[in-house]
Amino acid sequence: MSEGRVLNVGIIGAGRIGRLHAEHLAFRIPEATPLMIADPFEEAARKCAERCRIPHTVPDYHAVLENPDIEAVLICSPTHTHAQIIQEAAAAGKHIFCEKPIALDLGDIDRALEAVEKARVKFQVGFNRRFDANFRRVRKAIEEGEIGQPHLLHIISRDPSPPPLEYIKVSGGIFLDMTIHDFDMARYLIGGEVEEIYAAGGVMVDPAIGEAGDIDTALVVLKFANGVIGTIDNSRKAVYGYDQRVEVFGSGGAIRVENNYPNNAIISDAQSVHRDLPLHFFMDRYIESYVEELKAFVDAVLNDKPVPVGGEDGRMAVVMGLAAWKSYRENRPVRL
């Protein structure tokens, strides 16, 4: 990190993810300080500011962009606002960290990325799972040839319970709000691009999800340009908790990472051998990865380094999500 210099940050959005980032900036990343938080729901902004000792709260995010002391912004507002705020933040000369997805429409994404390019500001997308120690170890094994040439990738990603229906109605659906992380993880782990996607799915958890135009159970097959075949297995409801596993099989072996648990105790008795359930949701399972992704963004701004997850990464994950929906609806493989 740059010696002695502190990055002044503004946060747009005081919902669950905005509060999480605010806490990390306030208490775990000394090279940055949150100066202002904006949210039209002023009570949420005020509570977050009190907890994280943020000096200023505003209902309108434009005040963050107009503050000359703020060098970088975190966009943690609802998805439909991201592209517009990115363009305005870039025009204001602010470096930008934006939660995924950039937008649900490729035209909106391209306009946002053009604004970033024109302003020559840093732009990082919030794919935090790249910063998880388990998945980084898989990437390292592939990079260093520990398992030979990769042949098969399998990602299991199942949530403990579905999100609220109100969220599902505006999220873009399972492939753009949930599988999008797995699409990015697939590209990151294999280090290459996907050229064809086939998606099958159904409504097996809650009929209301189907009525909202979404599915809750899916299997996606990925064909990579380098020949690797990948599968992604999703469910919106795993009764035993948050299920996050990966296996890569190659010519020289395989690497597998399992779920994280609150402890490593295993109980053996006359009936069974068992342990406690895995960490329950992403706020528990991925907490360290959220810290690490923000550290990387702050480091990139302070020391003028490339960001580790850029606009093209954000765009490709949405392209894959849209292709998966097209494949599911038309019941055929879709080339990217």
Quote the CA–CA distance of 27 and 246 in Å, as a whole number.
31
Quote the CA–CA distance of 256 and 219 in Å, as a whole number.
19
Domain ranges of the chain: 7-121, 130-284+317-335
CATH of 130-284+317-335, one of 3.10.28.10, 3.40.1160.10, 3.30.1380.10, 3.30.360.10: 3.30.360.10
Instruction: Identify the residue whose tokens are 């500011």.
Output: 49
pLDDT tens per residue across span 255-282: 999 999 999 999 999 999 999 999 887 7
Quote the CA–CA distance of 255 and 257 in Å, as a whole number.
7
Its pTM stands at: 0.95
Two structure tokens written together for 232: 């992604």
Mean pLDDT over all residues of the chain?
96
Residue 4 has pLDDT above 90, yes or no: no
What Cα–Cα distance (Å) separates residue 278 from each residue in 237, 256, 265? 14, 16, 12
**What is the DSSP secondary structure assignment for residue 4, as one 8-state letter?**
T
Q: How far is CA 316 from the centre of its chain?
A: 13
- pLDDT band at residue 3, thresholds of 50, 70 and 90? low
**Predicted local confidence at residue 221, as pLDDT:** 99
pLDDT tens per residue across span 293-329: 999 999 999 999 999 999 999 999 999 999 999 999 9
Superfamily of domain 7-121 in CATH is: NAD(P)-binding Rossmann-like Domain (3.40.50.720)
Spatial CA neighbour of 301 closest among 122, 125, 142, 134: 122
Q: How far is CA 60 from the centre of its chain?
A: 25
| DSSP codes, 136-191 | HHHHHHHHTTTT-SEEEEEEEEE-SSPPPHHHHHHS--HHHHTHHHHHHHHHHHHT
